[in-house]
Chains A and B, each alone.
Chain A
C-alpha cells in the first residue's frame, strides 16, 4: 500500500516537474507578440473616441476623431468640450503640431516636449501618438502564466532592441487563446513601474479583435487615470492626403 502511494506521489511529482516546461515551450513569446501586432496593427485606422481624464479631483471628457497612417502619420481633431473644440494635432515623423482655434496658431511640439503630459492626462503626447509594432521594437521573453480578468494569460517580458526606446522594458499579459492583450505595464530603466494599461471590452471588428476601452494609469501619480474609449474603429480606410498636411491646421 505504501509502495503504491509512493509511486503515485512520484508520478505526480514527475508530472508537475516535467509539466511546466512543456507548457512554457508551447509559448513562442515573439510569435505571440507578432500575432498581437497583426491583430491590433493596421496600415491605416480611423477612430472616433472619448478620452476621459480623471485627475483625482475632476473628470474631463474629450471627444476626438483620429486618422492614423503607418507609424509616422496621424491626425486628431478634438470635438468637445467647448474649451478644446477645434483643437487639432498633426503628427508627421517625430514632430507634432498642435493647433488651437482660440489662439488661431499652430505650435510645434517636438523633441522633449513630446514627453510632456497631454492635456493633463496620464498619457504623454508621445504615448498618444505612438503606434508602432511591439514585435519590431522589443524582444519578447515568456515569463509565466497568470490569471487576469478571469482569463489565463501568458506574461511576456519585453526588452527594447535599442537604447533610444522610451520604455526599455514592458510586461504584457496576453491571452494565448485569442491573442488579446489584457494588460500592459511600462517600466523605467531602473525597473520602476511607470504606467499600467488595461485593455477591456474586446469586440470583433472585421477580422480583428479590438479593445473598445483602454485605461491608462500613471503609476507615479495618485488617483489619476485616463480612459480611452473607442466608439468607432475602422481599419484600412482610405485617408485623404490633406489630413496629413499642415494646411489642415486652421479653422
Chain B
C-alpha cells in the first residue's frame, strides 16, 4: 500500500523527479569512472615499474639512494653468493654510476646503468647490446630511450663522447656508439639514462663483480650486507601521489554528493510544503504520521532506485566504449610518471557496490531528513495549508 502511494506520488512530481534521478545517476557514473580510472592508472604504473625496473623488489647496497647521484660511486658492493646463484629469470644485477655525455659537444649529465644481458626478469629494449663481446672495443655500445634521445638530440648510429670516473677516482672518457633508441614505457629509466652492458660498465669503472642493487622476483629473506627494498617502498612516491589523488577525487565526489543531496532535500521540502493539505487530510483520515513519513521517504528511495537504473542504462555503454578507447596520458611521461601509453579504467565490483550503496544511503537520508517533521505537524493547520510556512 505504502509503496503504491509513494510510486503514484513520485510519478506525479514529473520533471522535478526526473532531474533528481538524472543528477544522481550522473554522479554515480562520475564516481565509478573516477575510481576506476585511478585504479587503472595505478595498475598500469605498477605493471610498468615492476616489469622494467622494480621486479619483485631490490636487494640494495645499504645507503644507496637513486636521488643522490653524487654518492652512487660510494655505494657499490660485490654480489653475494645467495643472489648471484639465482636463475637468470629470477634476478637482474644492476650497477649505477654517474657519467657525463657530450652530445654536440655540450655537457649532459647522465646516469650510466649497466644491466646483465642474459637476465629475463626485467623487460627492456636492450637487444642491441646483446651481440657485443664482454669487453668493449673501440667504441662502447649503449642504448638510450626515446625521451633521452629527443632531449640529447641523439639517434641510432650516433657516436658521442662519454666521461666518467673509475673506482679510484681517475677520470676516463671514450666514444660511445648509440646502437639503438629503445621505446621504454617508464620515463624514470629513460630520461637521462644511458644503458650499457653490465660487464662493460664494470670494466670501465674497475668494479669487477660489483652492483648497486640486484632486482629479484621475490623476497628471499635477509641477505648479509644488503637491504631489501620492496615494491611498496620503491614505488612509495607514486603510491603517495595516488593516495593524494584519491583524496582529491573524494573531495570532488563529496561536492557532487552535496549537490545531489541538496537537490533531493530541496525537492522533499517543496513536496511537503506543497502537499501539506494532502498530509493534513491523510492525518485527519487517521493515517499515522510515521506512515506518512515512510511514504515520503519511499519516494526518495524510488528516486534513488531509478537513478541506479538510469546510471546502469547510461553508464554501462559509456564504460564499454571507454574501455575500448582508453585515456591518453602520453603527456604524463614529461612529468616522469612511469606510464606513457593509454590507460584503461580498472573496474572493481566491490568498490562499485560500496560506492553505489553510499550514494543510495545518502539519497535516502536526504529524502528522510526533511520529511521527519511531518510527525510534529498539526493536522488542522496542515489542512488549512498553514502548518509549514
Q: Chain A: residues with CB nearer than 8 A to chain B?
A: 111-113, 115, 117, 160, 162-168, 188-190, 192, 194, 220-222
In the docked arrangement, what's the CA distance between A9 and B58, Å?
76
Contact across chains for B169 and A190 when beta carbons are under 8 A apart: no
Please determine whether A221 and B173 come into contact, CB atoms closer than 8 angstroms: no
Q: Is B223 an interface residue (CB 8 A)?
A: no
Assuming the A-B contacts A111-B74, A112-B71, are A221 and B171 also in contact, with contact meaning beta carbons closer than 8 angstroms in the complex? no
- Asked if B105 contacts A220 (CB within 8 A), the reply is yes
Task: Report chain A residues within 8 Å CB of B73.
Answer: 112
Do A164 and B172 have beta carbons less than 8 Å apart? no
B169/A164 in contact, CB under 8 A: yes
Taking the complex as formed, is B87 at the interface, i.e. its CB lies under 8 A from any CB of chain A? no
B98 touches A (CB below 8 Å): yes
Report the bound CA distance from A165 to B163 in whole Å: 16
The CA of A41 and the CA of B18, in the complex, are separated in Å by 93
Instruction: Find out whether the CB atom of B107 lies under 8 angstroms from the CB atom of A221.
Output: yes
A220 touches B102 (CB 8 A): yes
A125, chain B: closest CB distance, angstroms: 12
> Interface size of B by Cβ–Cβ distance < 8 Å?
22
Q: B170 near A: Cβ within 8 Å? A: yes
A166/B172 contact (C-beta < 8 A), A112-B70, A192-B161 known: no
B106 close to A (CB within 8 Å)? yes
Question: 6 new A-B pairs (CB below 8 Å) besides A112-B74, A168-B170, A194-B163?
Answer: A188-B163, A188-B171, A190-B172, A220-B107, A222-B104, A222-B105
B105 neighbours in A (Cβ, 8 Å):
220-222
Asked whether B163 lies within 8 Å of A220 as measured between CB atoms, the reply is yes
- Does B207 count as interface, using CB distance less than 8 angstroms? no
Residues 150-166 of chain B: 1 if any A CB is under 8 Å from the residue's CB, otherwise 0?
00000000000101011
Q: A112-B70, A112-B71, A113-B70 are in contact. Are A220 and B168 (CB under 8 A)?
A: no
| B240-265 CB contacts (< 8 Å) to partner A | none
Inter-chain contact B168/A190, CB cutoff 8 Å: no
Would A194 and B173 count as touching, CB distance under 8 A?
yes
A190 lies within 8 A of B174 (CB): yes
Which of chain A's residues has its CB closest to B102's CB?
A220
**Contact partners of A166 in chain B: CB under 8 A:** 169-171
22 A-B pairs within 8 Å (CB atoms) are namely: A111-B70, A111-B71, A112-B71, A115-B171, A117-B107, A165-B169, A165-B170, A166-B169, A188-B171, A188-B172, A188-B174, A189-B166, A189-B171, A190-B172, A192-B173, A220-B100, A220-B107, A220-B173, A221-B102, A221-B107, A222-B105, A222-B106
